[in-house]
Amino acid sequence: MEPYEVHATPSQEIHDWLTANGWYPGRDIGEEAERLIGVRLQDARGQGATLTPAEPAVRVTHTYGGLRLNRGGDNPDDAWIMKPTFGYRDDAADIKELAEALGVELFSVGCESAEFSLILVDETGRFFLLHHTGGYYAGDSDFDAFRRFIEGEMLPDAEDYFV
């Protein structure tokens, strides 16, 4: 597994899509990101689990937190809602189980509105979706995951990435 690296420049397509959804270069929601992460951590503890917000997940929350990233196209309601506090009953155990199978820490950074999948980021910056049918690999970085999302790309099973 390669170490986490910040991909500083999105493609023009991703840049345009992000800016149309309220993002701008250098965006950082600061203390609000820390508050959202704290709420998620407290919720996990209340479920009897400990989640670790690795640096890439913290960066994603600071950069995109609070945004509704609409896919566009035929279904205007299909979006990634970038808020780590979204979840479901006992989701922390499901996140931990997927993390253990992948051999990395995972942290929630939002949810996908159409299927209510949790959007997770690992300590290397990879994105995964946790759906009621299982885990899915969504991309090796934020810009790769966004590209796959807006193109409607079929996502491989997270099992392909288990250790």
Contact (CB, 8 A) for 44 and 76:
no
Question: What was the pLDDT predicted at 2?
Answer: 45
Question: What was the pLDDT predicted at 55?
Answer: 96
Q: What is the DSSP letter of 157?
A: B
In which domain, by residue range, is 82 found?
Answer: 34-161
**Domain annotation covers residue 79:** yes
**Domain annotation covers residue 4:** no
Question: What was the pLDDT predicted at 8?
Answer: 61
**Domain annotation covers residue 24:** no
**Domain annotation covers residue 86:** yes
For the chain, 163 residues long, give each residue's pLDDT as a single digit of tens. Answer: 444 445 568 999 999 999 999 999 999 999 999 999 999 999 999 999 999 999 999 999 999 999 999 998 777 789 999 999 999 999 999 999 999 999 999 999 999 999 899 999 999 999 999 999 999 999 999 999 999 999 999 999 999 999 9
Question: What was the pLDDT predicted at 76?
Answer: 74
The residues, any chain, with a CB within 8 Å of residue 100's CB and separated by 6 or more, are none
**Domain annotation covers residue 59:** yes
**Domain annotation covers residue 12:** no
The overall pTM is greater than 0.75: yes
Q: How many domains is the chain partitioned into structurally?
A: 1
Question: What was the pLDDT predicted at 6?
Answer: 53
Question: What was the pLDDT predicted at 75?
Answer: 75
Question: What was the pLDDT predicted at 64?
Answer: 98
Dihedrals φ, ψ of 138, to 5°?
-110, -10
Q: What is the DSSP letter of 144?
A: H
**Domain annotation covers residue 120:** yes
**Domain annotation covers residue 69:** yes
